[in-house]
Copies of this chain bind each other. A is one copy, B any other.
Amino acid sequence: MPASLARRRRAHLRTPIRAVDVEKVRSLGDLLTAFQSTSIQARNLGRCLEVWENALTDPKRPTILLGLSGPLIAAGLRKVLRDLVDWGLVDVVVTTGAVMYQDLYQTPQVGGVHWKGTPLADDVALRDLYIDRIYDTYVDELKFEETDRAIGRLTEQFPARPASSREFLQFLGERFTDPGSILATAARRGIPVFSPALIDSSIGIGLTLHYQKHRGGPRFILDAVRDNFELVQILTKSPRTAVVYIGGGTPKNWINDGIVMANYAFGREGEGHFYALQITTDVPHWGGLSGSTLDEAQSWGKISKTATRAMAHVDASIGLPLLAGALWDRRRVWQPRERLAFRWTGDELDLTREPAGGRPRRPRAKG
């Protein structure tokens, strides 16, 4: 073999795959580290951990935005998500309305429960029993009605003026004082939670009743464009940004478009997101945004040309606990990370850093 050929071969054959040895796996941190030396989606999941850790330890302290979609509460991820917020592993949450609605449904104030069901259920029979099905999980429609009433009552207390989804969700989070709640934890920690399609959820039912009741008079107006204006400020005041997408949908698209808007229309001097990871079950070849690669996003300037990025094709019910558990195992790495302090005067943001509170507070929730 000519030397030049051998050399070019060696350039490609540098890093061997190492087989996973489950006898040596003592923790989820071990497992994900082992995955980094394998292939296919295990490697991708391992790389997601690596990208997240890089974002957490970057001395420029990127702002980390978390996008949430899919049946995450049904999937048993409420505690995991609440922990990510409490531990400071994310700085901003963007979510479908459904995730937050089901988070509130489980607060002790309502007492809702997600129940084990079956995908082969007789749905017409369930209808008669006031049971709603989410694939293999049941929710209680009567408790949904209680959730609606609770949200409806609180909406009446909200000031009669235009506001963003972030303000309204913070208002709710402050009033559902459940340490196990994602929304309440975010409110306590000062983490902004946006829901750019909030009307497209059961939370929207209460808002629509409020609309009808106060129609023509002063009322709370969900001023959707204000969400954009607030997001632009967050991005503009962040020297760097990182994104963690659980699923796709509106949250992924909105966060990705946000950075384009900030850079192109609002004079932000910066690049696309600098770190990007996604857990998804969608695929690129349907051409939709949810399954589109993070490379494709680079052509749009959504993701920085030099971003580190990883995309793992795995159901979030499996992939997210693995990631979160591995991050917990390595908490010494990110415990010193400063927190962000978001202070809002109307729609105006003042964004500063605060020292980390030492080791993360022992979460009070039981899950």
- Report A's interface with B, CB cutoff 8 A: 5, 8-9, 12-23, 25-28, 31, 34-35, 37-43, 45, 69-71, 74-80, 83, 98, 113-117, 119-121, 123-124, 126-127, 129-138, 140, 148, 162, 180, 196-202, 204-205, 207-212, 215, 221-229, 232, 247, 249-250, 253-254, 257, 260-261, 264-266, 281-290, 292, 295-301, 305, 313-319, 321-322, 324-325, 328, 347, 363, 367
Q: Is the CB of A211 within 8 A of B197?
A: no
Q: How far apart sit A226 and B224, CA to CA, in the bound complex (Å)?
A: 11
Q: Measured between C-beta atoms, what is the minimum distance from A30 to chain B in Å? A: 10
Contacts of A45 in B (CB 8 A): 318
Q: Is the CB of A71 within 8 A of B40?
A: yes
- Indicate the member of A69, A319, A325 with the most B CB atoms within 10 Å: A325
Task: Quickly give the copy total for this chain.
Answer: 4
Chain B residue at minimum C-beta to C-beta distance from A251: B200
Contacts of A292 in B (CB 8 A): 134-135
Q: How far apart sit A16 and B316, CA to CA, in the bound complex (Å)?
A: 19
Q: Is the CB of B28 within 8 A of A25?
A: yes
Q: A75 with B211: in contact, given A140-B13, A305-B127 (CB under 8 Å)? A: no
Q: Is the CB of A225 within 8 A of B250?
A: no
Q: Is the CB of B42 within 8 A of A317?
A: yes
Q: A76 with B37: in contact, given A13-B138, A325-B25 (CB under 8 Å)? A: yes
Q: How far apart sit A59 and B146, CA to CA, in the bound complex (Å)?
A: 39
Q: How far apart sit A129 and B289, CA to CA, in the bound complex (Å)?
A: 21
Q: Is the CB of B39 within 8 A of A317?
A: yes
Q: A287 with B225: in contact, given A20-B80, A37-B76 (CB under 8 Å)? A: no
Chain B residue at minimum C-beta to C-beta distance from A366: B21
Among B265, B287, B314, point to the contact of A136 (Cβ < 8 A).
B287
